[in-house]
Structure 1
Amino acid sequence: MNEITRVLRTFIGYLKRPDLYPELGRKILKNTINRNNAFKGKEKTNSWASSKAVSQEEAISKLFGMHAGTFKNEFQDVLKGAEEREKVCPIKMGGAGALELIYYACEFSNAQHVVETGVAYGWSSLAALLSLKKRNGTLYSSDMPYLGQNGDQYVGYVVPEDLRSHWKLFRFADKESLPKIFNENSSFDVVHYDSDKSYDGRIWAYQELYRNLRKGGVFMSDDIGDNSAYQDFCEKNTIDTTVVEFEGKYVGVFIK
């Protein structure tokens, strides 16, 4: 599929969904008037992140006092099944992230309620659900439909059926999903951000997620090197964050 076809399909997909019109307006602004703001402070933050970065294993040990080595062994069969599901999925989405970090954040906080933005195949969802199932907890996820790829039905594709009873999936942009989620539950043990990559989108969501994170809960954000939103947010709120380098990208994580 060429780029013009993808853009056209995406636009038509929006037109068919009046509930997504607010996000369509925001995307038009983001890609025209606010385009230069998307990467604000990127060079500054990558230098800052690289100077602080530790491995995923180091972060889990430092923050949670746990050993990361058991996750892949304990859930070997589930993860293998998820990999097979990804291979046969007819559309391409984002790959797995720092799964151990997500899982042990939930274990550390004895999580009952977790909120994440961004689902794609559902790898981060799977990691959180494997922990939440132990305590009969709930994962609340916000994810936009994959309008340009006709892939709406494949969001969360790797999550097995036996975990889905612990999962509430909201299929809107964050600015519509998060208020709906916070109306259902206002205090979370873990929050995980991995959606809108723009500076303005991040700053808005970080503030909302932080406000609804309980004291002692865990805050995580993927891809913090895209711009300086995460660094600026932490500095503004005097947050001492840990930075994890994972597969050439940076993840931010701290305990509130």
Structure 2
Amino acid sequence: MNLNILRSPIVHRVKYFIKDKSLEFILQDKLYQSLSLSQSEIKQYRDEFLQSKIIDEINEKLEEFAQNVTGVNKKGYQYKTGAMPLEKGIYLYSIFRKIQPEIAVETGVCNGVSTTFLLLALEKNQKGKLYSIDLPEVVGMDYEEGYFWEGKKGAAIPKDKESGWIIPTYLRNRWELILGKSQDKLPELLEKVKEIDFFMHDSEHSYNCMWFEFNQTYEVLRQGGVLMSDNIERKKNTAFQDFAKEKGKSIVYLGPKLAFLVK
């Protein structure tokens, strides 16, 4: 099993966050307190994940991206996959295996690495559906000013590909992709599904958009459901922290920029 492509510099920063045994114990203790996810279950799900063929399948697609995608976008940012690091993915997978969601929603797909982690867990659960909203940037395409939020960087999908193209066919039967801005598509989706068990933000990382998504989804999140956010910035953007404070909820950090709360 080749883990090299998934081991980006971000992975090492995440590992630094939990590599000290005392910190790892604290994280696992918080997972148990918040979700009753025990250390033995984390190990079981981690082993289950690593023994699957999914990492090799993802690596093959990421290698294809690396070989075929070069250059920068209009803002000068190097094109990249936007892939979730492996350690984050294992915790995400473990949480999904534990909470057994019937209806899950995420914003932000790009090439589909984190979405694959979620769908693999649903397949193992033999239940549940994931709705994903995405507004992808396609490599080499020109977009009018303001099409993407001003803070967007280089995450993009290759030409002639669609959002989530990395996701294996055998995992797609529990997935529905919705293209467009979350500000437009999320209210429509939530009106349709009525109640959700899980939400994850990984789309437009502006304060206003994050707050909008948290506020919208929290209203239909069941009691005991999970609200998660990637790319939280403790100094630059405190939308998640501010939202948790307003709701009186504790935050569980899975890494420097990935965290969740339980309703």
2:169 to 158, 161, 164: 161
Greater relative contact order (Cα 8 A, min sep 6): structure 1 or 2? 1
* 1:146 alignment counterpart: 137
Task: Name the SS for the 2:105 alignment partner.
Answer: strand
Kept in 2, the 8 Å contact 1:106–1:189? The answer is no
Shift of 1:212: 1.8
Match of 2:62 among 62, 86, 100: 86
Q: Is the 8 A contact 2:110 2:136 kept in 1?
A: no
Give me the whole-angstrom Cα distance separating, in 1, the residues matched to 2:45 and 2:166.
Answer: 17
Give the partner amino acid of 2:191: N
Secondary structure class of the residue paired with 1:224: coil
**Alignment of 1:74 onto 2:64:** no
1:198–1:127 Cα change, 3 Å? same
Give 1 or 2: higher helix fraction. 1
The Cα offsets for residues 31-77 of structure 1, whole Å up to 9 and x where unpaired, read as: xxxxxxxxxxxxxxxxxxxxxxx556555444332332334432331
Q: Structure 1's 149 and 116: CA in aligned 2 closer, same or farther, altered over 3 A?
A: farther
1:242 corresponds to: 252
In structure 1, list runs of 5 or more residues that go unmatched.
1-53
Pick from 113, 127, 136: which aligns with 1:123?
113
Task: Report Cα offsets for 1:75-114 as digits up to 9, x if no partner.
Answer: 3311211111111023432021421232222222221111
Preserved contact between residue 130 and residue 163 of structure 1 (Cα < 8 Å): yes
Q: 2:128 aligns with which of 115, 137, 141?
A: 137
- Structure 2: segments with no counterpart, 5+ residues: 1-22, 70-79, 142-156
- Contact 1:138/1:166 (8 A) holds in 2: yes
Secondary structure in 1 matching 2:203: coil
1:114 maps to 2:121: no
Instruction: Tell me what 2:34 maps to.
Output: 63
Letter in 2 for 1:250: K
Q: CA deviation at 1:154?
A: 4.0
Q: After superposition, give the CA deviation of every residue in 1:174-228 in whole Å (9 maximum; x if it has no partner).
A: 1112123213312111111111111111111110111121111111111111411
**Which residue type is aligned with residue 60 of structure 2?**
E
Q: Contact (CA 8 Å) 2:100, 2:128: kept in 1 or not?
A: no
Which residue in the other structure is 2:218 paired with? 210
Q: Distance in 2 between matches of 1:61 and 1:102?
A: 14
- 3-state SS of paired residue (1:103): helix
Which contiguous aligned blocks of 4+ residues in structure 1 show a shift greater than 6 angstroms? none
* Count of residues in Structure 1 that have an aligned counterpart in Structure 2: 202
Q: SS state of the match for residue 172, structure 2?
A: helix
- What corresponds to 2:260 in structure 1? 253
TM-score normalised to the size of structure 1? 0.71
- Mean CA deviation greater in 75-84 or 115-124: 75-84
**TM-score where L is the length of structure 2:** 0.69
- Which residue of 186, 189, 203 corresponds with 1:181? 189
Q: Closer, same or farther in 2 for the Cα pair 1:190/1:238, shift >3 Å? A: same
- The 3-state SS of whatever aligns with 2:257 is strand
